[in-house]
Structure 1
Amino acid sequence: MPTLLLVEDELSLARIVQDSLETRGFTVHHAADGAQGWQLFQDLGPDVVVADVMMPVRDGFDLAAQIRRASAAVPIIFLTARSQPADVVRGFELGGNDYLKKPFSMDELVVRVRALLGRPLVAAPPPVPGPLAIGRYHFDHPQQRLRLADGSQPEITLTHREAELLKCLLDQRNQVLTRTEVLRQLWGDDSFFNGRSLDVFITRLRRYLRHDPQVQIVNVRGVGYKLLA
């Protein structure tokens, strides 16, 4: 959980920012001025600093300059009502990484903090599954490829329906896959002509898998097929 140091003298705003960030997965420590901020920075070693510019005792620019003398890596975001270009330039010259003008939305602050921390702004996509083992074969379902693990035979590129049929058989490995089930799932209905087409595809898969005698697609009379592996 990232640790964030919030340095803000406006206590009502600080409370809102702290509560909002904590609900988004941050551990937030608050300091009411730059002097307290420097002390907490030394004590905590935070992952990121969010600091107001205009504060009593010690302002945000002075705090940022001291932080930069101690650490070149920790990201610093300035919060400020100042809008003059000279102030923005000064903030960056003192080592600030970003500059957010008040008033601001919490969503924008969160996006900027996460970007500086190098964390994804949205959930990462699920990992792509690796090849599935069928005896000595490796079956890459998304890529529709079938190959022997030892590379002794050329890789086979399956058609979409071949790959889907093999996946259905593999999902029910050593169990019966009924003709009706697979015809309705892959062909849309279990008509006679689709049944003959299914038989052709089963014959093709048997030919592809023939180099491993431990892998078989057997007929279950009157019911369907079973992949033994």
Structure 2
Amino acid sequence: MEKTYKILLVEDDESLGYLLSEYLKMKQLQVEWAQDGSKVMELMEQRLFDLIVLDVMMPHLDGFTLARQIKDKHPNMPFIFLTAKSLKIDVLKGFSLGALDYLKKPIDEEELVARIMAHLSRLEKTVAAPIEKEVISIGSYSFDNRNHVLLHEGESMRLTARETELLKFLVQHKNNLCSHKDILLSIWGNNDYFNRKSLNVFVTHLRKYLEKDPSIKIENVHGRGFILKVNQ
């Protein structure tokens, strides 16, 4: 039996929210529509969701602030932004907060569903994929990829789902060049300009997490990709 995914749609515009929620339901997705961002955290305590579609420009609580709250309390919850804010700085800010995608209004309903299903499919494959080791050694760090945790001398750092995917990919190819294209197609599913910018943001996150061990370095090979170098 095919799984029915549960989507939380956070959109304050009544007309657009109704249109999108009804369209998603037509595509056999279970949809909970929240018009007020300030109610979302309470709602997430009551119900389980597979993915959140999050508007940025909302009264009371904007989408970027809400995304931070979601990430703090539910670090593995995937979410995508749906917004009219299309400046590069807004797009990069969205990705830096851990968003899987950033869709600009006006949005085509079919494209929204296609992107939702593509992300859910990739996330499910990541969870279902066989894991050779639950805990992997990276220099003086221990990487618990199943639980999205990086450990160093008793200190625990919680990673987002996307940070975990990226670090796992680099570890699997450590000391070898990982091209931008291979990383993006494997993890983001799309090798475009904004996803490349998003990749750079996540590499910056990982560098900060790994900076306590000087034997570890994520090297940028200009115009080609990245190498996770671990000196044994």
Q: TM-score, normalised by structure 2?
A: 0.50
SS of alignment partner, residue 112 of structure 2? helix
1:56-67 to 2 correspondences below 5 Å:
56-67=59-70
RMSD, matched Cα: 1.5
1:12-91 to 2 correspondences below 5 Å:
12-91=15-94
Contact in 2 for aligned 1:2/1:47 (Cα 8 Å):
yes
Contact in 2 for aligned 1:9/1:33 (Cα 8 Å):
yes
> Per-residue deviation at 1:56?
0.7
- Aligned match of 2:14: 11
- Aligned match of 1:111: 114
More relative contact order, 1 or 2 (CA 8 Å, 6+ apart): 2
SS of alignment partner, residue 41 of structure 2? helix
The residue identity in structure 1 corresponding to 2:48 is: G
1:133-187 CA distance string (max 9 Å, x none): xxxxxxxxxxxxxxxxxxxxxxxxxxxxxxxxxxxxxxxxxxxxxxxxxxxxxxx
Identical aligned pairs, as a percentage?
45
The residue identity in structure 2 corresponding to 1:39 is: E
Detail structure 1 runs of 4+ shifted over 3 Å in the superposition.
Answer: none
The residue identity in structure 2 corresponding to 1:27 is: Q
> Per-residue deviation at 1:73?
2.1
> Whose radius of gyration is greater, 1 or 2?
1
SS of alignment partner, residue 82 of structure 2? strand
SS of alignment partner, residue 30 of structure 1? strand
CA distance in 2, matches of 1:98, 1:42: 24
Contact in 2 for aligned 1:6/1:49 (Cα 8 Å):
yes
The residue identity in structure 1 corresponding to 2:43 is: L
1:143-182 to 2 correspondences below 5 Å:
none
Contact in 2 for aligned 1:34/1:55 (Cα 8 Å):
yes
> Per-residue deviation at 1:33?
1.9
SS of alignment partner, residue 56 of structure 1? coil
CA distance in 2, matches of 1:40, 1:33: 11
Q: TM-score, normalised by structure 1?
A: 0.50
> Per-residue deviation at 1:71?
2.1
CA distance in 1, matches of 2:119, 2:65: 21
Contact in 2 for aligned 1:33/1:59 (Cα 8 Å):
no
Q: Which runs of 5+ in 2 are unaligned?
A: 123-232
> Per-residue deviation at 1:91?
0.7
1:127-146 to 2 correspondences below 5 Å:
none
1:178-217 to 2 correspondences below 5 Å:
none
The residue identity in structure 2 corresponding to 1:87 is: D
CA distance in 2, matches of 1:89, 1:24: 30
Q: Which runs of 5+ in 1 are unaligned?
A: 120-229
> Per-residue deviation at 1:34?
1.2
> Per-residue deviation at 1:38?
2.1
Between 55-64 and 71-80, the greater mean CA deviation after superposition: 71-80
- Aligned match of 2:178: none
1:93 aligns with 2:96: yes
CA distance in 1, matches of 2:41, 2:62: 11
CA distance in 2, matches of 1:81, 1:41: 25
CA distance in 1, matches of 2:66, 2:37: 6
